[in-house]
Amino acid sequence: MLGKAGNEAVRRDQKSFSFANGGKSQARKFDDAGKSNLFLAIVPERDVALQAAEIGRDVAQRHGALPKLRPHELMHVSLNAIGKYADFPDDVIFAVSAAMATVKAMPFEVTFDRVMHFASANAVVLGNPVRSEEMMDLHVQLAKEMWAVGLTFTYNPRFTPHMTLFYDQGPVPEHRLAEPITWVAREFVLIRSFIGKSEYEYIDRWPLLG
């Protein structure tokens, strides 16, 4: 395993094998306790993640929101959901690992130039009205590879790349950033998110090499 974000704990007892628009609010069902989500994502560089977290704090303060802000180490751009599991699904991890090893895509630039509010998810996010074709292509390719190995695949033709800052039911007006957040995506990762906890486990990663 590659380790965990949030508490920095690292698991070394297993070999490394390593949603679209919005997501659900922080309210969780009781029967989700102890479960985790698996999903594929792009993770920004540390300085970009810190910048995003600072924007989240500024937006919350300016609009009088009192949300639980997403810490910089959990910043990510979701690509494809894999599923929700009560235990560590070794068989699914092996299948995902085999499928993702065949993905071919070049590194590409990610740019978010504004703060947006996804009302359906009560999410305040960084986004861009001009959708990244490279990220859409990657989203589609990952779905095809999961389908090819018999996994439940996720594909959304209205996929809107974004990075969640916090969840809040109050509307936050869309506005442009003084300076866009930009970085070059050079890999994508498999993340295990522990439901109800601010804790991610990075299970595997695959470089974008073309």
pLDDT, tens digit (0-9, with 9 covering 90-100), for 154-204: 788 888 999 999 998 777 899 999 999 999 999 999 999 998 887 899 999
Sheet of 36-42, strand order: 3-5, 200-207, 187-194, 36-42, 77-85
Classified by CATH at the fold level, domain 3-20+35-207 comes out as Cyclic Phosphodiesterase; Chain: A, (3.90.1140)
Domain boundaries along the sequence of the chain: 3-20+35-207
Extract the tokens encoding 23: 């997501």
Evaluate whether 190 touches 205 at the Cβ level (below 8 Å).
Answer: yes
Evaluate whether 125 touches 164 at the Cβ level (below 8 Å).
Answer: yes
Percent of the chain with pLDDT over 70: 83
Residue among 195, 193, 196 nearest 43 (CA) = 193
Q: What is the pLDDT of residue 5?
A: 54
Q: Is the pTM of this model over 0.75?
A: yes
Extract the tokens encoding 132: 């990244």
Residue among 57, 82, 86 nearest 69 (CA) = 57
The top-scoring range by mean pLDDT among 6-10, 31-35, 115-119, 169-173 is 115-119
Evaluate whether 188 touches 138 at the Cβ level (below 8 Å).
Answer: yes
Evaluate whether 161 touches 77 at the Cβ level (below 8 Å).
Answer: yes
Could you tell me the end-to-end alpha-carbon distance of the chain, in angstroms, rounded to an integer? 25
Compute CA distances 63 → 117, 132, 173, whole Å: 12, 29, 9
What mean pLDDT is predicted for residues 36-41?
Answer: 94
